[in-house]
Amino acid sequence: KPFTSLIDGICMGGGVGLSAHAPIRVGSEKTLFAMPEVSIGFFPDVGGSHMLSRMPGETGAYLAMTGTRLKVADCLAVEFLTHHVASADFPALLAALEAASDPAPVVARFARDAGEAPISALRPAIDRLFTGDDPVAILARLEAETGATAEWAHATAAGIRTKSPTSVAVSLHQVRIGGAL
């Protein structure tokens, strides 16, 4: 059954699994996304590996291995969201959607620019460092990073090292095979 996801707050784990598969996914400035399972010794579930494996470049592997939280502009950049609508406009959006037979033009009418996505500046480093199937090799590349992204890479490696190694490995494997399932 077709549905539209309206995300006006925290959306993590199971909430992502429920909302990520809608053809239209709307977030507000209050949206906070994460697949934080590696932080508690689990791995992305409820379709998380399906969604993460289809994100641009290596952003899905990055998010799966780190549990990094994203705000609305970043959610648009990684294609978790399709549109940004101001939180204050959600009641009017919902009313308009209830009266419409096609949600696409309604959402387009309410959509706003979310601004610059911080993750966009990191994309070249993410795409270069998070390649391959070996989480140990990814950690080694992060720890060996030099230049403008070194501080971010070293902090990212340190964060991954606080996670369950098994969960990190399973999460990466899921992203790698999820695109073919």
Q: How confident is the model at residue 67 (pLDDT cuts 50, 70, 90)?
A: very high
Q: Which amino acid is at 44?
A: P
Q: What is the pTM of this model?
A: 0.94
177's enclosing H/E stretch is helix 165-178
* pLDDT higher than threshold 90 for residue 137: yes
DSSP 85-104: --GGGHHHHHHHHHH-S-HH
| pLDDT for position 161 | 97
Cα gap 132→94, rounded to integer Å: 42
* pLDDT higher than threshold 90 for residue 44: no
